[in-house]
Each structure stands twice: as C-alpha cells, then as structure tokens.
C-alpha cells in the first residue's frame, strides 16, 4: 500500500516490485538455448509485447534444436505471434510444415471444461498425442494459463493441473512453458506458480528458482501433511538440483573449451 512521508508529497512503496527491475530481453534467446529437455518454466508478465517476445524466443530456441512446438494461446495472441513470425523466413516456413501448431487455450480452460479437471487434462493430452503422431517426440509446449474457477480453498485446480503437466514433462521428456498474466490471477495462484516451477522468467530474466518445491510435495504442504518422508525428499531435491547445476556448468565449460580449440 503506497504511503506518504511526513515531509514530502512523494509516494513511496513498502516493498520492491517487478517493474523496479530493467528488462533484460536482449540475452533471453541465448539463455533459452542453454536449457535442457523436460524443463518446466513459468513466466509472469504484465505487457502483451513481453509475452509475445518471450514466446518467439522460446520457439526459435526450440527449432534450433529441431524441437517442434505446440502452442496453447487465445486467438488474439496467435495472430500477434503469426505476424511476428512472418518477419523471420525460417520460422514462417515452419508454420506451413506443421512444425509449429496453435491450439486455442479457450478450448482447454473454458468454464464448462475447466470445472472438470479430468476433462481439462484429457483435452490437453489429446492435442498433445495428435501432435506427437505426425512427427518426432522432440517438442516443447507453450500454455497461456487462464483462470480456473475452484471452490477448493486449500488446493486450487490450477495447482492440480500444474502438478499433472509437471509429471508429463518427466514422462515424455519435453519442455513446457507456462505463461501467467499478473493482472488475471490472484496472488495465491501466482505464488503457487512460483513455488512449483524450477525456472522462472521475469522481465526477460531467466531465473533459477531457489523457492522451488515440486508441485506434488507442495500440495502436501498446503494440506499440512508433514512427515519425515516429505522432509527427506525436499532436502534430497535441493541437493540434487545443486548437483545438476554443477554438472551443467561443467558441460558448458567443456563445450566452450572445445569450441575454442577449433579456432586455434
């Protein structure tokens, strides 16, 4: 809540906000290129142009790795993406080759569908299976998340849906990129999204999430179902992520050294 100082009319805030950080979009494409498969990434945005730019960079980095792209967005966003893609000859040709496919997110998150979580998941999986049938399994998925109504105050349907797609990334070895419009969701849902995604994008910054807890364990915590097994699993996940990060850095260092040898 903004408050006034006693001696000034200047408005100050009690906490920092996302807008306090300058955008860092120039390096985002390069950062996305370093991602591995089965990544589950969340981006929270305010401006549509930031969303469009991030989606384009995600598509481009995937195509470089020969990964097809299935995109769940509304019609307006699809039109904007198509206009942007036309500026890139290589990307534009992929649309006609079914390398990049659009599905209306309204089909997945409409009120009559999303009120039934199983039906929402079945529709999502159905589109996924059809897309896999016509090409390789190397793919990435983009989802524009839309609010799902829920009467459950402890565990939201959004969190349950997120838990299911989290498992899919591991089972099928592909990346999922979830987009949340900050103005369309309650803070509770946005915080659930932050806590349950290992990587986040804000203002063009690709961040390793130190607050991350896998969505299944997060649900147990929300339900206050604490036990020693949960504790051990959370600790194990924290250490394992650090080990994975160290291995990633070693691999990057090795690749850089080998690249330098080629120029010598």
pLDDT tens digits along 25-71: 677 878 888 777 778 899 999 888 889 989 988 888 888 888 888 99
Lowest-pLDDT choice from 92-101, 187-196, 243-252: 92-101
Q: What is the pLDDT of residue 24?
A: 67
- For residues 56-81, one letter each, b for 16 or more C-beta atoms within 10 angstroms of the residue's C-beta and e for the rest, the string is bbbbbbbbeeebbbbbbbeeebbebb
Lowest-pLDDT choice from 25-34, 109-118, 196-205, 242-251: 109-118
Place of tokens 């390069």: 30
**Residue of 32, 37, 54 whose CA lies nearest to 45:** 54
More confident position, 161 or 4: 161
Q: What is the pTM of this model?
A: 0.74
| Burial of residue 117, with CB atoms counted within 10 A of its CB: 0-12 exposed, 13-18 middle, 19 or more buried | middle
């Amino acid at each position: 809540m903004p408050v006034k100082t006693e001696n000034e009319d200047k408005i100050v805030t009690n906490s920092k906000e996302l807008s306090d950080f300058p955008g860092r979009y120039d390096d985002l494409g390069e950062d996305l290129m370093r991602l591995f498969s089965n990544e589950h990434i969340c981006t929270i945005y305010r401006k549509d142009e930031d969303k469009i730019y991030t989606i384009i960079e995600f598509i481009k980095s995937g195509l470089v790795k020969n990964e097809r792209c299935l995109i769940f967005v509304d019609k307006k966003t699809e039109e904007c993406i198509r206009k942007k893609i036309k500026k890139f000859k290589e990307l534009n040709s992929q649309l006609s080759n079914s390398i990049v496919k659009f599905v209306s997110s309204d089909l997945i998150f409409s009120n009559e569908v999303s009120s039934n979580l199983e039906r929402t998941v079945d529709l999502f999986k159905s589109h996924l299976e059809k897309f896999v049938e016509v090409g390789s399994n190397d793919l990435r998925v983009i989802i524009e998340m839309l609010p799902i109504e829920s009467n459950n105050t402890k565990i939201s349907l959004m969190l349950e849906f997120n838990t299911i797609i989290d498992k899919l990334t591991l089972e099928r070895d592909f990346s999922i990129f979830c987009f949340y419009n900050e103005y369309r969701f309650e803070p509770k849902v946005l915080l659930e999204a932050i806590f349950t995604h290992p990587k986040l994008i804000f203002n063009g910054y690709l961040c390793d999430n130190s607050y991350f807890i896998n969505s299944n364990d997060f649900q147990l915590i929300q339900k206050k179902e604490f036990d020693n097994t949960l504790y051990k699993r959370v600790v194990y996940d924290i250490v394992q992520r650090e080990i994975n990060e160290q291995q990633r850095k070693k691999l990057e260092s090795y690749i850089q050294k080998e690249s330098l040898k080629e120029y010598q």
